[in-house]
Amino acid sequence: MLRRRTLKPPLRSIRPAPDAHAAIHLQDAVHVTKTEAAVARPATPRFPVSSESKAFYRRFFPTTTALDWNDWRWQMRSRIRTPEELARIFQLSDDERAAVGQHKGSLPVGITPYYASLMGLDNPSEPLRRTHIMTGDEYVRMPGEDNDPLGEDHDTVAPGLVHRYPDRVLFLTTGTCSTYCRYCTRARVVGNPGGEYQFSTRQWEQALAYLEVHTEVRDVLLSGGDPLTLGDDKLDWLLSRLRAIKHIEFIRFGTKVPVVLPQRITKALTQTLKKYHPVWMSLHITHPAELTPEATEAFTRLADAGIPLGSQTVLLKGVNDSAEVILPLMRGLLMRRVKPYYLYQCDPISGSGHFRTTVEKGLEILTALRGHTTGYATPVFAVDAPGGGGKIQLAPDCIVGRDGDDLLLRNFEGKVYRYPDPGGQLGMGKPVAMAAE
C-alpha cells in the first residue's frame, strides 16, 4: 500500500544543467556528474551498436568507449548543441549555419550522438537531418501559424496539466528532450530552462492535487518534453503517486526516446515501469531510417515488459510524405511489435510551413496503404484541430452514392460494390460517378 507521506520528491538527485540557469527544475534533472554516471553505469550493458554508429563514434568521439556510448547519460551529456559542435560533425550549408547562429530561446538544437550517427553528415536534404538542424525557413511565419496551435495553454488547469477531453489529461512533466524536432508542437515549451514554462516537483504537486479531486479523469498521458529523459527515481515517484489515485486507470507515455536515445531503455527502467501496469507507450517515429538494431532492442525490452506500443508519425514534406516511405515504416514497426497508431498532419506551429503537406497528401498515402497491407499496419490519419478542437480523424471517402436500397462503396482497387442497406440515408444526393458492379 502506498502511503503518501512517505513519497517524498527525490530532490537530492535534481541538479541544474551545466548550460542552464541556476534554478532547479526537472527539465535539468538528467544531467549528472561524471562520477555519478560512472557509479550508475550498469556493469554489463548489453546493447547492440550498429557498425554505422561504431564508425561514427570512432571518428567523432575517438576517446569514447562502447561503455560510454551505451550509457544514456553520456549520450545526454554529449548532445550536439552549439554551432561549433554541429560544424565539427556536419558539413553545414550556409542556410543551416546562419539559422543556427540566429536561434534564441526555446527549441534549441540538440541531437544525441547516437541519433546524429543516423544522419547524412554532408547532405542537408537527408530526412532525419532536416528534422533536427534548422534552416532559415523556420523563421518564416505563414498565415494560420501559431506558437500554441492546439490551444493547450487555454486548457491548462494546473502547471503542465492540460484537461481538454472529458476523461483524460495531458501531463507535461518536463521541458527536456534528448533531441529537438524542428516541427515540435510544443516548441514554445521545450529546451528553455529558466523560461516561461517550468516543470518542478512543486508544479507536479499542483497537477497531482488537481487529479486527486477530478474523479472523471481515467487516463493520463505523460508527455513534455520527453518524460523518459527523467531519471528512474523521479519516474518511480511520479508513477507511484498517479497509481495511488484510484480513479486513474490508464497511464500512457508519449516519447521519442526509444528511437533517438534507445540506450535509455535499461533493464532498471523497464523494471520500474512494470510496477505500474497498465502502462502504454506512444512512440514518436518519423522514418524507416530510425528502425535500427538499437531501436529494435529498445522496442523489444519495452514490449517484453508488457508495455503495449503504438506509433505516432507526423507527416513531413520531403521527409516522409510518400507511400514509398510510410509503407515500409509501418510494416517495419509492426515487425517490431509496435502498432502503427496515428499518422498526423503537421500542426501549424510558427515556422512550420516548409514541413507541412496538404491534407490530400495524407489521404493519398492512406489510400495507398489500405488494402495493400494488413489493417494492423494502417494508422489512423488525423488532424489536431487548431484552437483546441482535438483530434479529427480523416479517411478516404469510400461512399460513392446510393441506388435505392443499395449503398455504393469503392474498394481499395477503385472498384464500386453494392451493399444492401435498406432504410439508409448515406450516399443520397451524391452524383453516382461510377457504375456498381
Q: Tell me the C-alpha distance between 363 and 208, whole Å.
A: 39
Which residue matches cell numbers 532498471?
268
What number of chain residues touch ligand SF4 (CB under 6 A)? 11
H-type helices in 22-77, by residue range?
34-40, 51-60, 66-69, 72-77
**Interaction residues for ligand SF4, span 186-205 (CB under 6 A):** 186, 190
Confirm or reject binding of residue 180 to ligand SF4 (CB under 6 A).
yes
Q: Is 398 a catalytic residue?
A: no
The answer to whether residue 118 forms part of the interface with ligand SF4 (CB under 6 A) is no
Q: Shortest distance, CB of residue 311 to ligand SF4, whole angstroms?
A: 13
Nearest distance in Å: CB 201, ligand SF4: 20
Q: Should residue 331 be labelled a site residue for ligand SF4 when binding is judged by CB under 6 A?
A: no
- Binding of ligand SF4 at residue 262 (CB under 6 A)? no
Determine the interface stretch with ligand SF4 among 151-159, 166-174, 224-232, 392-400 (rule: CB under 6 A): 224-232
Which range of residues in 24-32, 139-147, 219-227, 356-364 is near ligand SF4 by CB under 6 A?
A: 219-227
Q: How far apart are the first and last CA of the chain?
A: 64
Q: CB of 230 within 8 A of CB of 272?
A: no
Q: What cell numbers appear for 354 in the block? A: 516548409
Judged by CB under 6 A, does residue 26 bind ligand SF4?
A: no
- Complex with ligand SF4: residue 163 or 284, whichever CB lies closer: 284
Q: Grid coordinates representing 64?
A: 569514447
Cα–Cα dist 27/21, whole Å: 11
Q: Which of 226, 232, 290, 347 binds ligand SF4 (CB under 6 A)?
A: 226
For this structure, is 346 an active site residue? no
Q: Are 127 and 90 in contact (CB under 8 A)?
A: no
Q: Could you tell me the smallest distance in angstroms from the CB atom of residue 67 to ligand SF4?
A: 26
- Among the candidate windows 69-77, 179-187, 324-332, 366-374, which touches ligand SF4 by CB under 6 A? 179-187
Among 113, 149, 160, 225, binds ligand SF4 (CB under 6 A): 225
Q: Is 186 a catalytic residue?
A: yes
Of 12, 31, 20, give the one whose Cα is nearest residue 229: 31
**Residue 184 binds to ligand SF4 (criterion: CB under 6 A):** yes
Query: In this chain, which stretch among 181-189, 295-303, 316-324, 370-378 interacts with ligand SF4, using CB under 6 A?
Result: 181-189
* Residue 46 falls in the annotated catalytic set: no
- Catalytic residue, from 41, 168, 243, 361: name it: 168
79: contact with ligand SF4 by CB under 6 A = no
Minimum separation from the CB atom of position 62 to ligand SF4 (A): 29
How far apart CA 341 and CA 359 sit, in angstroms, is: 18
In this chain, which stretch among 61-69, 180-188, 245-253, 390-398 interacts with ligand SF4, using CB under 6 A? Answer: 180-188
177 binds ligand SF4 (CB under 6 A): yes
Site for ligand SF4 in 277-296 (CB under 6 A): 284
| Phi-psi category of residue 389: left, alpha or beta, with phi > 0 → left and psi -120 to 50 → alpha | alpha
E strands, 302-420, in order: 309-315, 338-345, 380-385, 390-394, 399-403, 406-410, 416-420
Of the candidates 41, 141, 165, 398, the residue annotated as catalytic is: 165
Dist. CA 180–CA 81, nearest whole Å: 10
Indicate the helix (H) or strand (E) that contains 252. strand 250-255
* Residue 130 touching ligand SF4 (CB under 6 A): no
| Beta strand pairing call for 161-162 and 156-158 | antiparallel
Residue 6 CB partners (closer than 8 Å, separation 6+) = none
For residue 181, the minimal CB distance to ligand SF4 (Å) is 3
Among 129, 252, 256, 264, binds ligand SF4 (CB under 6 A): 256
Eight-state DSSP code of residue 141: P
Applying CB under 6 A, the span of 173-181, 319-327, 332-340, 352-360 interacting with ligand SF4 comes to 173-181
Q: In what order do the strands lie in the sheet with 416-420?
A: 399-403, 406-410, 416-420
Q: What gap in Å lies between CA 188 and CA 79, rounded to an integer?
A: 20
By CB under 6 A, tell whether 342 contacts ligand SF4: no
Q: Is 44 exposed, middle or buried (0-12, 13-18, 19+ CB in 10 A)?
A: exposed
Specify the residue, 10 or 108, whose C-beta has the smaller distance to ligand SF4.
Answer: 108
What whole-number distance in Å separates Cα of residue 14 and Cα of residue 34? 15
Site residues (CB under 6 A) for ligand SF4? Answer: 177, 180-181, 184, 186, 190, 224-226, 256, 284
**Catalytic residue positions?**
164-165, 168, 177, 181, 184, 186, 347, 384, 391
